[in-house]
Structure 1
Amino acid sequence: MLQIQLNLCFLLFYCIYSASSFQLKNAIDLTHAVNENTIAWPSNTQFTAKQVYKGYTAKEFWYEERVISGSEHSGTHLDAPVHLRDKEGGWSAGDIPLSRLAAPGIKIDISKQSSENIDYQMTTEDIENWEEQHGKIQEGTIVIVHTNRGKLYTDKETYLGRPAGMELPANDVEHLHFPGISSEAARLLVARNVYGVAIDTPSLDYGQSRLYETHRILLGANIYGIENIANTEQLPAKGFLLNCLVQKLEGGSGGPVRVVAFLADPHAEGLVQTGSGNSGKGVHPVFSTTFLLLSVKYYF
């Protein structure tokens, strides 16, 4: 009985220590603000917010309300697997299991290549180079592709990569130039059984794509995409958890998502990371607590 109590004490300490390693002070918001400058795909319905009421009521209390509308694919948003694929099927935004929306994250940095070629597409070599340094990407990881173009988001025309000096309609999609992910790299990520792939550009596919092969490959494998992600320059290559809680839209092809990264406390790195052979897959405090409760139930 004493041994059982000691084991439980150790588990409790482990849970508390693991939970403390992912603290709100280490959180990074990876979401662009939603406002009149929110970027949606040019041919889609743009975001609007109409003020319905703002002021004191007849009962002398303050009240505010707006009516908002726009495409599911506006601002920082999630592409559900049902959105774009070779054949009908896949999860809608409301169907994606919660366990897949909160998971360990990694960052693959292709900012140098993207600065040299605006139409750059991440290659399998980029992924393999990351794995040589940090270990094989683990199943259940959320992959963030960092091009460093998120900083351009407030300048819509530059962010979309339209050539300067051309008078183009607002819904033009023929002259878009920004980096993306190659179809070969997408297939490799499918082979790694990742949960999701995010990028700091308007699309998983590069701007000049016409067939959207990367979308079709990833979403066709029930791997969701996140586009227009923000602040990726603040992330390390690994060692963080991601919460990607999309609106639970029944039948939704996607939806607005608040993406937050929780960085591990470096002093707790020994507990939450398993070494260079791991892509940063750590011990989430929820998992630790669940393990503790299951242990208590088992013993008692």
Structure 2
Amino acid sequence: MTESAFSAGALAAAVAGGALDVVDLTAPLSERTPILQLPEPFAGTAPFALREISRYDERGPAWYWNDIVTGEHVGTHFDAPVHWATGRDGEDVSQVDPRRLVAPAVVLDASGHVASDAGFLLETDHVREWEKAHGPLPAGGWLLYRTGWDARSDDAGAFLNGGVWPGLSTECARWLAEETPILGIGVETVGTDAGAAHGFDPPFPCHSHLLGAGKYGLTQLRNLGRLPVRGAVLVAAPLPIAGGSGSPCRVLALVDR
């Protein structure tokens, strides 16, 4: 391949010319966006809201704009290591190297299992079987865990499902964090952990192990069914909130047409 094939101009031309598709993996952010519900006595996040400042009126005749109210971990969002106690000495979201926000991605599809078991847990053996069929997990890349849960994302009740949604087993989370070269994991559910993960040992093992290992999480993704098993490039763009534990995020995938 020639040097020009790696240029930013060639990438722009491939997108503009249709040789590359840009797939939006981001759920729209609105007051209807489902949020994680924590039991008392734990504090919860604020739901997303727009507060109108002016809209072509006496408050501002030529412009429309809003204040926004939201939490760092609302909607499609990025988890930085400092989000969890195990990663408290790690990066906040503003400190993540921008080069790590553009990375290869693979898709592991467990939607068939989840269709018959909403609380399905991905095990290490499932990932190893996937690797036998599709090759190794990408070094410095994302493992995107497809469950079909994004089909529920416009209905908060179905999405939160009484606290039952799929995730990873404790051992799988530990193995991915400590023994694989991935950058992080992306999921379609409200958080990277299963709905039942508060009762695991340790509780919330995806957060505990992956963030503790300096890796990242992406949540509430959609359209993973439009991606190839491997070959996509993920662009994850959180806000660089100084001291922030995470941020709402626009997540795009570049895919060969």
Report the TM-score range of the alignment, normalised by the length of the smaller protein.
0.7 to 0.9
What does 1:211-226 correspond to in 2, within 5 Å? 211-226=203-218
In structure 2, C-alpha distance between the alignment counterparts of 1:219 and 1:58, rounded to whole Å: 44
Aligned to 1:127: 127
Aligned to 2:187: 199
Aligned to 1:92: 92
In the TM superposition, residue 112 of structure 1 has moved relative to its aligned partner by: 0.9
Report the 3-state secondary structure (helix = DSSP H, G, I; strand = E; otherwise coil) of the residue aligned with 1:216.
Answer: helix
In the TM superposition, residue 85 of structure 1 has moved relative to its aligned partner by: 3.5
**1:126/1:64 CA distance change after superposition, 3 Å:** same
In the TM superposition, residue 138 of structure 1 has moved relative to its aligned partner by: 2.6
**1:45/1:10 CA distance change after superposition, 3 Å:** closer
Aligned to 1:33: 28
What does 1:277-288 correspond to in 2, within 5 Å? none
**1:239/1:21 CA distance change after superposition, 3 Å:** farther
The percentage of counterpart residues that share the same residue type is 26
**1:67/1:12 CA distance change after superposition, 3 Å:** closer
**1:10/1:68 CA distance change after superposition, 3 Å:** closer
What does 1:38-187 correspond to in 2, within 5 Å? 38-42=33-37, 43-56=44-57, 62-86=62-86, 88-162=88-162, 176-187=163-174
In structure 2, C-alpha distance between the alignment counterparts of 1:207 and 1:125, rounded to whole Å: 21
Report the 3-state secondary structure (helix = DSSP H, G, I; strand = E; otherwise coil) of the residue aligned with 2:197.
Answer: coil
In structure 1, C-alpha distance between the alignment counterparts of 2:254 and 2:150, rounded to whole Å: 19
- 8 Å Cα contact 2:87/2:211 also seen in 1: no
Could you tell me which amino acid in structure 1 is paired with residue 220 of structure 2?
Answer: N
- 8 Å Cα contact 2:239/2:248 also seen in 1: yes
In structure 1, C-alpha distance between the alignment counterparts of 2:66 and 2:250, rounded to whole Å: 20
In the TM superposition, residue 133 of structure 1 has moved relative to its aligned partner by: 1.2
Could you tell me which amino acid in structure 2 is paired with residue 48 of structure 1?
Answer: A
In the TM superposition, residue 40 of structure 1 has moved relative to its aligned partner by: 2.0
In the TM superposition, residue 148 of structure 1 has moved relative to its aligned partner by: 0.4
**1:76/1:58 CA distance change after superposition, 3 Å:** closer
Aligned to 2:41: none
In structure 2, C-alpha distance between the alignment counterparts of 1:228 and 1:207, rounded to whole Å: 14
- 8 Å Cα contact 1:22/1:263 also seen in 2: no
In structure 2, C-alpha distance between the alignment counterparts of 1:16 and 1:225, rounded to whole Å: 27
**1:14/1:37 CA distance change after superposition, 3 Å:** closer
In the TM superposition, residue 245 of structure 1 has moved relative to its aligned partner by: 0.8
Aligned to 1:237: 229
- 8 Å Cα contact 1:139/1:194 also seen in 2: yes
Aligned to 1:252: 244
Could you tell me which amino acid in structure 1 is paired with residue 171 of structure 2?
Answer: E
In structure 1, C-alpha distance between the alignment counterparts of 2:95 and 2:238, rounded to whole Å: 11
In structure 2, C-alpha distance between the alignment counterparts of 1:16 and 1:244, rounded to whole Å: 18
- What residue ranges of structure 1 are gaps of 5+ in the alignment? 1-8, 163-175, 266-300
In structure 1, C-alpha distance between the alignment counterparts of 2:214 and 2:247, rounded to whole Å: 16
**Deviation sequence 1:206-241 (CA, Å, 0-9, x none):** 101111112100000111101111111111111110
In structure 2, C-alpha distance between the alignment counterparts of 1:92 and 1:20, rounded to whole Å: 30
In structure 2, C-alpha distance between the alignment counterparts of 1:146 and 1:258, rounded to whole Å: 18
User: TM-score of the superposition, structure 1-length normalised?
Assistant: 0.76
Aligned CA-pair RMSD: 2.2
How many residue pairs end up in the alignment? 243
- 8 Å Cα contact 2:87/2:214 also seen in 1: no
- 8 Å Cα contact 1:85/1:215 also seen in 2: no
